[in-house]
Amino acid sequence: MKRYSAWNVFRNGLSDQKKWDRVWRDPDPKKSYDVVIIGGGLHGLATAYYLAKNHGIKKVAVLEKGWLGGGNAGRNTTIVRSNYMMPDNRRFYEHSLKLWENLSHDLNFNVMFSQRSHVSLFHSPAARDAAARRYNTMRVMNSDGELWDLNRLKREVPHLNYGPDARFPILGAAVQPRAGTARHDAVAWGYARAADSYGVDILQNCEATGVTRAGNQVVSIETSRGLISTKKLGFAVAGNTSRLWRIAGLGRLPIESHKLQAFVSEPLKPLLDQVLAFGVGGAHFYISQSDKGGMVFGGDIDWYKSYAQRGNLPIVQDVAECAMSILPCLGRVRLLRHWAGIMDMSMDGSPFICKTPLSNLYLNAGWNYGGFKASPASGWFFADLIANDQPDPIIANYDLDRFSRGYNIDERGAGPDPKLHG
């Protein structure tokens, strides 16, 4: 793989851009691998990369049933933040944010990470107190967080509905300045290219259809491109996790598959410099402006479980109402596209990176709304778990047993019931 550099850009310009290498190979599946990861989204690709880079395990394949990044990896609203209070998620997402801060350099690929601040509005003194507690905890633990009063907020984000007749009067905001956005498909391509450069085989159009076991051990995987043997197997298939779990003969998981929609408007002149989030009284809305000018936004998950990658109209209305109540200037803006992805909603709103009842099968799932920001740390710790067969202390509670222990990872503990996410 040629490294990208100013010199390379110049030299390829001289040959009309025709001499660039393929960004990653398109190999045929080998008969066997040391590790197979099912799922060519961000988590699968990041895992393969860190297996090779951090642990020297390079005989690795990533199986993707469609095209690389065609799942949630390329469908999300790209928000990256680490504003958690409770220890497990705080440490994990802070580790992820630190990896994000160096990711373009590490991958030698511009993932367009833009630390433009994440601004969470609050609308009541109680919400302000809760935000103060959470953001002060973050600061004490060496992360970053600020509270903006109304005057500061008006200066920084002038176009919000501050009027006396606002449906949700705004009192101020909790802000994480290091948070922001990145270009989602660039992240998938960057991880794929970097993993490929270590010799990882990325197998697109390769669906896992069966898992062959000998007792409590995985021996091989049946795929649409033939049988592949492996010493270790990892699942990183987001909204399809329950299906694969069943294929492996393991019954049911505490995960439901729900759809989440995202929306993008026609391009506008610069309107919003930050990522803005707002949630009050059952409303849930987040918005940022892409580098091309489109307003990128979303709201709640749809109200029923499904594996379809398309959304329903009531949520379109719901999200449009949220947009109008907080940013009325969007009222005449035209919507360009909207789409949906299949979310792996866990019962407590927190993820799994853990071992499973099968001795050489490892699980990465339960990312809910937040798996984009998690992807670097998820790959990092999942690779570590697969390589060393024991969890790093930071992810020790991201296991399936936490429900029987009654352990609460997140302060909200909100599961897949859409009402709980409002």
Residue 123 lies near ligand FAD (rule: CB under 6 A): no
Q: Are 349 and 368 in contact, with CB atoms under 8 Å apart?
A: yes
Pick the binder of ligand FAD from 279, 294, 298, 349 (CB under 6 A). 298
**DSSP-assigned beta bridge partners for residue 305:** 258
Residue 210 lies near ligand FAD (rule: CB under 6 A): no
Residue 79 vs 327, nearer CB to ligand FAD:
79
Residue 75 lies near ligand FAD (rule: CB under 6 A): yes
Residue 56 CB contacts under 8 Å (≥ 6 apart), including other chains: none
Residue 78 lies near ligand FAD (rule: CB under 6 A): yes
| Stretch 227-256: interaction string toward ligand FAD, x if CB under 6 A | ---------xxx-x---x------------
Stretch that binds ligand FAD, among 89-97, 257-265, 354-362, 406-414 (CB under 6 A): 257-265
Angle in degrees, 0-180, between the axes of helices 184-197 and 42-55, rounded to the nearest 10 = 30
Residue 262 lies near ligand FAD (rule: CB under 6 A): yes
How many residues belong to the site for ligand FAD (CB under 6 A)?
39
Rounded to an integer, what distance in angstroms lies between the CA atom of residue 254 and that of residue 239? Answer: 12
Distance set, CA 152 to CA 114, 119, 147, 346 (Å): 21, 12, 9, 37
Residue 279 lies near ligand FAD (rule: CB under 6 A): no
User: What's the min distance (Å) between Cβ of 49 and ligand FAD?
Assistant: 13
Residue 272 lies near ligand FAD (rule: CB under 6 A): no
Residue 122 vs 372, nearer CB to ligand FAD:
372
Rounded to an integer, what distance in angstroms lies between the CA atom of residue 205 and that of residue 202? Answer: 10
Residue 367 lies near ligand FAD (rule: CB under 6 A): yes
Among candidate residues 45, 1, 28, the one with its CA nearest the CA of residue 375: 45
Residue 57 vs 80, nearer CB to ligand FAD:
80
**In this structure, how many other beta carbons lie within 10 angstroms of the beta carbon of residue 164?**
5
**In this structure, how many other beta carbons lie within 10 angstroms of the beta carbon of residue 137?**
18
Record the tokens describing residue 276, joined without a space: 């803005």
Distance set, CA 194 to CA 37, 41, 43 (Å): 16, 14, 14
User: What's the min distance (Å) between Cβ of 249 and ligand FAD?
Assistant: 15
Q: Are 265 and 333 in contact, with CB atoms under 8 Å apart?
A: yes
Residue 97 lies near ligand FAD (rule: CB under 6 A): no
Residue 341 lies near ligand FAD (rule: CB under 6 A): yes
Q: In 3-state terms, what secondary structure has residue 234?
A: strand
Contact footprint for ligand FAD (CB under 6 A): 38-44, 63-66, 70-73, 75-79, 207-208, 236-238, 240, 244, 260-262, 298, 341, 343, 367, 369-373
